[in-house]
Amino acid sequence: MCGIIGYSGNLEAEQVLISGLEQLEYRGYDSAGIARMTRDAVEITKTTGNVSALKRKLEEKATLTSHCGIGHTRWATHGGVTEENAHPHRFGKITLIHNGIIENYKKIREDYGKGTRFCSQTDTEIAAMLMDTFYDGNPEEAIWKTTAKLEGSYAFCVLFEDIPNVVYCIRKVSPLVAAYAKEGAFVASDVTALIAYTQDYFVVPEDTILVLTDEKAELHNQKGNVVKPEMLHVKWDFASAQKNGYPHYMLKEIYEQPEALQRTIAPRMKENIPDFEDDQIPDSIFESIQQVKIVACGTAMHAGLIGKVLIEKRVRIPVGVEIASEFRYADPIIDQKTLVIVISQSGETIDTLASLRLAKELGAVTIGIVNVKGSTIARESDYVFYTHAGPEIAVASTKAYTVQIAALCLLTMRLALIKKTLGRGEITRDFALLKESIECVKHALLLEPEIQKMTACLTEASDLFFIGRGIDYALSCEGSIKLKEISYIHSEAYAAGELKHGTISLITEGVPVIAIATQESVFSKMVSNIREVKARGAKVILITKESMQVEESIFDYHFTIPEIADDYTPIPAAVILQLIAYHTSVRRGLNVDQPRNLAKSVTVE
């Protein structure tokens, strides 16, 4: 979860580390710190709070010239949010930062640190102690000996006090990418921190040590041999990872959806039929598939709920949507005839990754729907379907969700073609509808001023409900998570027909209910459910298609999306829900992009 950066080169280290941490802050923002190396010392500055707090602390210090250092922005796991627990941690000659969890840190403390007084409650300081124990002038040997003892996940960047201007790094599971540019050598948790210097980078392979000097970023294996990195190129540039005049990343990312959808859909279009030749996903993998499991977390899992409706309807094979943290421990029934689709924006979510590994072990065919190029899930899936949303910085996922739905639409169409459950004509029509949904998103964005006004009635709510049926219920789940994660208002998503089996007792005068009713087949049923909540005093915010006739008595606010086939309504309707969450959070004066307790990329269990 934490963000880490390391640098050795000709620029001022402080400047590189701070701007890198600003780019990585969405990974964790409980506390932040840097260590700068000079010829004879390693100077640490750290604080609770975000990177701005760290900047303020640095301003109070005397200027220090340094061209090498490491930086960290923390999402607390072991130990509370205190300055002592913030990284970097120093022990003896070792100063290091860490992203991950050392599961056996207690045993290591007993075996190697008995009687030692530690400054923090972290597992990281124990790792620093262990490395210092093993260090006798040979840094790489100390690293290998240390990691041989560690259980868990880690990405470490290490400074050895007596080896000036060199950063040593190693990782297991937790991500690290590196690059060399004219300004020097860089390492970071993800490429957003490097993009100001270069678009060419590599993923640090596990079981190698990365050595950064002002002349190179070099990989060494355990025998000490140099390993050639596999270079990757990221298409987006520094500007794409900035706010570009928007007050928040989230709003910018909401507005980027038409282009993101276009980039995800258009390259897969051949003769108006989705084609995955360029993705290197062969049709043959679909032929013997008898069931599909979609495994993911949070918003990505909610995209999977939409995928289930689409695939079951068009391909007529059973689809299970599984929460990754459950799936991995649930002894799932899957085999070679199962297609497991894992969905992850970051490609690093630990539970999704573990589920992918389990699915592979059990012989399933796996496809990763992933946004971040070269991420672990992308590399480890049998096949990868990249969404092209561009960098998503806000913790609340928006554009990644709608492109994940688009990806699932495309996969459904191809699967239906291969399974012959739909003819080419029907698929061509489906494809046209998917493209139409982009225009509908543009229309939904025009509703922002009205949505902004409406959210005045939500800011004081303590509970809120989202209701829908079928695909609208799947979308309700996403609307609910979006609202609660950034507005801190308790909300729940309910299948509208299920409400009267318990939850309707919570609907009292003035409780807001966001009713999504875009499905023609169940529209009259939805209207009845809305009447039921209205009769109990609910404040109803209704979302329908333009053509749907509704009596004014059943809603307080009404937002519409343009006419589009039922299965494609979630893409534009999601935009309305995102804007509702966004403006509610803004009105409540909250940190929209960095909500409390959360981090963008969840790399711990």
In the set 21, 44, 315, 396, which binds ligand AGP (CB under 6 A)? Answer: 396
Select 229 or 391, whichever has its Cβ closest to ligand AGP: 391
Burial track 473-497 (b if 16+ CB lie within 10 A, e otherwise)? bbbbbbbbbbbbbbbebebebbbbe
Q: Which residues contact 540 (CB under 8 A, 6 or more apart)?
A: 512, 513, 515, 530, 533, 534, 554, 555, 556, 557
Select 47 or 480, whichever has its Cβ closest to ligand AGP: 480
Does position 515 bind ligand AGP by CB under 6 A? no
Q: Which amino acid is at 122?
A: T
Of 1-9, 176-184, 292-300, 522-530, the window that binds ligand AGP (rule: CB under 6 A) is: 292-300
In the set 150, 166, 395, 514, which binds ligand AGP (CB under 6 A)? Answer: 395
Q: State in angstroms the smallest separation of the CB of 475 from ligand AGP.
A: 14
Does position 297 bind ligand AGP by CB under 6 A? yes
* Burial of 157 (C-beta count, 10 Å sphere; 0-12/13-18/19+): buried
Q: State in angstroms the smallest separation of the CB of 324 from ligand AGP.
A: 8
Does position 300 bind ligand AGP by CB under 6 A? yes
Select 211 or 342, whichever has its Cβ closest to ligand AGP: 342
Q: Which residues contact 564 (CB under 8 A, 6 or more apart)?
A: 433, 436, 437, 440, 545, 572
Select 48 or 344, whichever has its Cβ closest to ligand AGP: 344
How far is 250 from 396, CA to CA, in rounded Å? 7
Active site residues: 2, 600
Does position 601 bind ligand AGP by CB under 6 A? yes
Q: State in angstroms the smallest separation of the CB of 353 from ligand AGP.
A: 9
To 5 degrees, how large is the angle CA 367–CA 365–CA 152?
75
Find the residue with minimal CB distance to ligand AGP: 298
Select 69 or 479, whichever has its Cβ closest to ligand AGP: 479
* Helix or strand run (H / E) with residue 32: strand 31-37
Structure tokens at 2: 């934490």
Q: Which residues contact 516 (CB under 8 A, 6 or more apart)?
A: 466, 467, 468, 472, 475, 476, 479, 543, 573, 577
Q: State in angstroms the smallest separation of the CB of 425 from ligand AGP.
A: 34
In angstroms, how far is CA 581 from the centroid of its own chain?
18
Q: State in angstroms the smallest separation of the CB of 498 from ligand AGP.
A: 23
Select 20 or 479, whichever has its Cβ closest to ligand AGP: 479
Q: State in angstroms the smallest separation of the CB of 470 from ligand AGP.
A: 22
Q: Which amino acid is at 272?
A: N
Q: State in angstroms the smallest separation of the CB of 299 from ligand AGP.
A: 3
* Helix or strand run (H / E) with residue 483: helix 471-487
How far is 542 from 515, CA to CA, in rounded Å? 5
Q: Which residues contact 329 (CB under 8 A, 6 or more apart)?
A: none
Pick out residues in 336-375 that bind ligand AGP (CB under 6 A). 344-346, 349, 352
Of 211-219, 224-232, 296-304, 541-549, the window that binds ligand AGP (rule: CB under 6 A) is: 296-304
How far is 566 from 455, CA to CA, in rounded Å? 26
Select 241 or 602, whichever has its Cβ closest to ligand AGP: 602
For ligand AGP (CB under 6 A), the number of binding residues is 15
Count the helices and strands in the chain (H runs, E runs): 18, 27
DSSP letter assigned to residue 214: S
Q: State in angstroms the smallest separation of the CB of 300 from ligand AGP.
A: 4
Does position 480 bind ligand AGP by CB under 6 A? no
Select 554 or 592, whichever has its Cβ closest to ligand AGP: 592
Of 86-94, 294-302, 544-552, 559-567, the window that binds ligand AGP (rule: CB under 6 A) is: 294-302
Q: State in angstroms the smallest separation of the CB of 396 from ligand AGP.
A: 4
Select 66 or 345, whichever has its Cβ closest to ligand AGP: 345
Select 156 or 582, whichever has its Cβ closest to ligand AGP: 582
Hey, is 263 helix, strand or coil? Answer: helix
User: Cβ distance 2 to 171 under 8 Å?
Assistant: no
Edge-to-edge order in the sheet of strand 539-545: 490-495, 463-468, 512-517, 539-545, 557-561
How far is 411 from 427, CA to CA, in rounded Å? 11
Structure tokens at 580: 């509702």
Rg (the chain; Cα; Å): 25
N-term to C-term CA, the chain: 10
Q: State in angstroms the smallest separation of the CB of 546 from ligand AGP.
A: 28
Does position 602 bind ligand AGP by CB under 6 A? yes
Select 77 or 133, whichever has its Cβ closest to ligand AGP: 77
Does position 579 bind ligand AGP by CB under 6 A? no
Q: State in angstroms the smallest separation of the CB of 372 from ligand AGP.
A: 8
Pick out residues in 46-105 that bind ligand AGP (CB under 6 A). none
Of 67-75, 248-256, 389-397, 466-474, the window that binds ligand AGP (rule: CB under 6 A) is: 389-397
In the set 50, 299, 437, 584, which binds ligand AGP (CB under 6 A)? Answer: 299
Does position 120 bind ligand AGP by CB under 6 A? no
Of 87-95, 260-268, 361-369, 392-400, the window that binds ligand AGP (rule: CB under 6 A) is: 392-400
How far is 127 from 108, CA to CA, in rounded Å? 8
Does position 298 bind ligand AGP by CB under 6 A? yes
How far is 324 from 300, CA to CA, in rounded Å? 10
In the set 123, 125, 190, 485, which binds ligand AGP (CB under 6 A)? Answer: 485
Q: Rule CB under 6 A: which residues touch ligand AGP? A: 297-300, 344-346, 349, 352, 395-397, 485, 601-602
